[in-house]
Chain A
Amino acid sequence: MPEVLIRAESLTKKYDDLLAVDGIDFEVFKGECCGFLGPNGAGKTTTIKMIHCVLPLTSGSLAVAGMSVSESPREIKKMIGVAPQEENLDPDFTVITNLLVYARYFDIPKSEAQKRAENLLKFSQLEEKRNVVIDQLSTGMKRRLILARALINEPQVLLLDEPTTGLDPQARHLIWDKVRGLKKQGVTIILTTHYMEEAAELCDRTLIMDGGKIIEEGTPANLVSKHAGEEVLEVDYDEKVVNMLKEKFPDARLEVVGDRVHVFTDQPHGVFTSFLESFPTKSATVRGANLEDVFLKLTGRKLRE
């Protein structure tokens, strides 16, 4: 049985009238990468902020390494690294000074801080930018520096709140590489994202949140086969085709999205291909089911603002 590092029981956070986190229970195991997925306003960031002790709980309990967040915030914050969603690097300092000043907040001695900062500059590929002020960094560089800063205290737990939002694919893949490397070193990672590809790529386990509750949990692969099956057929909406599909795949789930029909099936690969061979339909595509299908099925297609 893997060791539990973070445990939440009936964890609740209420702001005035808004129930942001609604009595959730979850565990995060040592060394895993656990993803919190959910639409905007699902309660992901609120949960993250309670884990690193900057938001008090309304009720329930939350423990990190056996310590309660309300009783031992300093001890917990010492062992956690946080890469927040909103960029909050210190614009009054250069890249290297950002790391050194942050190290000082953790009581890291100067010479040790210098050593770690050098290593982290290398790690985040910012060595050439060491003396540049924050304003002059690109979004991708800022994200890398935020990640580097989160590692200055050599944390056992790393909280990544939407680490790649707004990044181009190159910058995103670089962050993913770094996160995988950290996982290999045994760092426990909690990641929030609404990019399903990112969750599938990085997470050992995902918790799907909506409306302050955890509505599903499992490995990305299990969630896909449980909720979306193997393959998805997408075809332009046409009554005749739909009726034919219903007849041919009585167990399949049909979903109308705009003017397209999505057909989900548990049956093994190839059923759609053979179907299309007998009834050639223009505009039809067959693709593998993915986490995004699961996400949309569970949280709906309604826009969240």
Chain B
Amino acid sequence: MTPSQESQGFRLPKLTYRVWKVWRRNFDVFMKTFKVSFFPPLLEPIFYLAALGAGLGALITQQIEGQSYIQFIAPALVSITIMYSSFFECTYGSFVRMYYQRTFDAIIATPISVEEVIGGEILWGATRSLIGGTIVLGVVAAFGLVSTHLITSPLFVLVLPVAFFSGLMFSAIGICFTALAPNIDFFNYPQYLLITPMFLLSSTFFPLTLLPKPLQIFAQAVLPLTHTVNLVRWSLFGHGELSYVLSLVWIAAVTPVFFVLAINLMKKRLIR
């Protein structure tokens, strides 16, 4: 068996500093379109906070574990942005680069390997989560100044590493779908069957305890967003619905699995 045949099989990816060159390419494009990629995402959480927090929240007088409704959903808004930023970057964004623009083909004709291209895409997706999470955190903080306190813990900056590492996880999951997508419409499946249920059920707009028991278990065991929301909530307020250790372990266990799977599935798709 020649080494090239071996490398076609499933293996741990071999990555070098070259992943950053792929990251840098995406970063350069992002900076070029800074105005469109920066400001619109700023507006979305403001609308949510206004509509759900001030509007719907006014109807909800009951406290949730000692918090007002707007305090309860603030971490969810940060987390949803973290999820969207990386997941959409590594599905629609990566698919366009791979399939329509043939950018990956151009890059692998240079000393950069396929594994490094995908590694770079995932790192970039995580960076998008970090950027998105930071923007929404800023909005939440600003909103908090004029209404209820939306941040009470001095450890709130921990949202940033949570954003990055959750971003790695969502990016890796996204790339797995990209590797399997026959066409761009395929992403309707993960969007409506995975992202939307997470958006609604992951301790986002109401506590997990209100779900029927089986769904509660499902949300904790299977839905990654539950753990991102939990960690962001811990960062902002110093408490959450679940143990932060559980969520840290969950993300730390799931991310490398999807990372390795994503790179191998992509290699299988791109190198035949």
Measured CB to CB, the residues of A under 8 A from B are 15, 52, 54-57, 68-71, 73-74, 77-78, 80, 82, 84, 86-93, 97, 101-102, 104-107, 153
Contact = CB atoms under 8 A, between A and B. Distances in A.
13 contacts: A54-B271, A55-B271, A56-B271, A70-B4, A74-B113, A80-B109, A88-B101, A90-B103, A91-B101, A101-B25, A102-B110, A104-B24, A105-B110
B59 interface: no
Given A54-B109, A56-B271, A86-B105, 5 more contacts: A84-B106, A90-B106, A92-B101, A97-B28, A104-B24
Contacts of B8: 56
Interface string B92-135: 00000000011101111111110000000000000000000000
A102 B25 CA distance: 9
Specify the main secondary structure of chain A where it touches its partner: loop
Contacts of B107: 105
Interface string B258-272: 000000000000011
Nearest to B33: A92
B13 to A, nearest CB: 15
Contact of A106 (B29, B111, B113): B111
A84 B29 contact: no
Nearest to A107: B111
Interface string B13-43: 0000010010011001100100000000000
Q: Which 5 A-B pairs have the closest CB atoms?
A: A70-B4, A88-B102, A105-B110, A56-B4, A88-B106
B109 A82 contact: yes
Nearest to B16: A74
A57 B2 contact: yes
Contacts of A101: 25, 28
Contacts of A105: 18, 21, 107, 110-112
Contacts of B3: 70-71
B61 interface: no
Nearest to A75: B111
A153 B111 CA distance: 11
Given A56-B4, A57-B2, A86 B25 contact: no
Contacts of A107: 111
Contacts of B108: 54
Nearest to A73: B113
